[in-house]
Homo-oligomer: A and B are copies of this chain.
């Protein structure tokens, strides 16, 4: 199972070569992560996790293969699943597709490994149960 967030490529997302500036794909990944929280827990759930509970998910590793360009006028479908839901870190899997008929095109395939940390002290803490509850149906079956 996966979660998908679709968004138009924005007028300002592109670079001088006319394609989506590659760092923006990592931003798209984060948009899908933010939208997952909204969709499952409401608009304030993620900010409360950060501000009240002081739990955050800083990236410790990110990677992406870029397979096809995205351009202004395209619609991006960002698919989020979970490769590993660990005790103190989470590996997210993101795929960005260009929407299209008859088939959409895979443009980017990436992963982000996040630590689970206490933001007040920036040290690792156990993944909260609430976070596990939100993510566990998104864990990919073993390949």
Nearest residue, chain B, Cβ from A44: B73
From B38, B47, B63, give the contact of A62 (CB < 8 A): B63
The answer to whether B11 touches A58, judged by C-beta atoms less than 8 angstroms apart, is no
Q: Output the least CB separation between A88 and chain B (Å).
A: 15
Nearest residue, chain B, Cβ from A31: B10
How many interface residues does chain A have, given as a range? Answer: 35 or more
From B17, B38, B59, give the contact of A50 (CB < 8 A): B17
Given A11-B16, A12-B27, A26-B26, A122-B69 contact (CB < 8 Å): yes
Measuring CB to CB, which residues of chain A are less than 8 angstroms from any residue of chain B?
8, 10-12, 14-19, 21-24, 26-27, 30-31, 34-35, 38, 43-44, 46-48, 50-51, 56, 58-67, 69, 71-73, 75, 112, 119, 122
